[in-house]
Structure 1
Amino acid sequence: MAVVRDPAFWKRFSTAIHLDEEGGYTAKPELKDLKDSDGWLAKQRRKQQRRRYVCLWFWLSFMLFVGAVFAVVIWLLNSGILKNVHLGNGSGTPSQTVVLNEATNDKVRRLVEMVVR
């Protein structure tokens, strides 16, 4: 158990006890003090509730945005607008052919041809 380091503590403590015994101390706090303590707790609860609503709306908006993008991509694919968009030649290789210089070494040429096939 920790010892109280304030030397005037015991004097204040004994005075409070004597006042309490004599009836000079009222244990009932004033209404103003109760409003202040409840005010802090009420503020914290309102902050927590606001945080919940903001988080909920953020995630709902995010999911709605992702769903809208997904729906637009599906609609574009089904409508045929993206049919003319081509990436590569369809076989996974670039559509340009490799043209090698005549001075290129035979080993390098064979290696490049092997990679292109």
Structure 2
Amino acid sequence: MTLDPNQIATEVEQEKNRHLIIKTLYLSRCKIWIMVLLTLLTPIAAYIYTRRWKAMFFSFLTIFFFLLIYVGDEEDFERAFNKGAELAPIVALATGIDNWLGICRARQKVILWNRNPSGDS
């Protein structure tokens, strides 16, 4: 019994596509109002709810670097903390919009898949 590399590559590609479809279906079923409430509590909770790990990593890495630039020159910890806390509403708004767009994109993909079930798009 020999292993055909083309068959293995096809199976791996099908598994990747299956995983992407499951992830997109889960994201499309997320409720936007729940995501907004979680974002208002803490922005990381919205990413956990939507299971968008890569987006969470890049968002918080970007926020971290902006905070380093914005607060980096402060000597006093309390002033630095207060200066950083000024950005909290902006962070909540940005993460809310990011998750909202992710949910909307997933819903659009599902609509396209339902219109064209053959998978050509």
What TM-score results when the alignment is normalised by the length of structure 2?
A: 0.31
More helix by share: 2
Larger radius of gyration: 1
Q: Which has the higher contact order (CA 8 A, sep 6+)?
A: 2
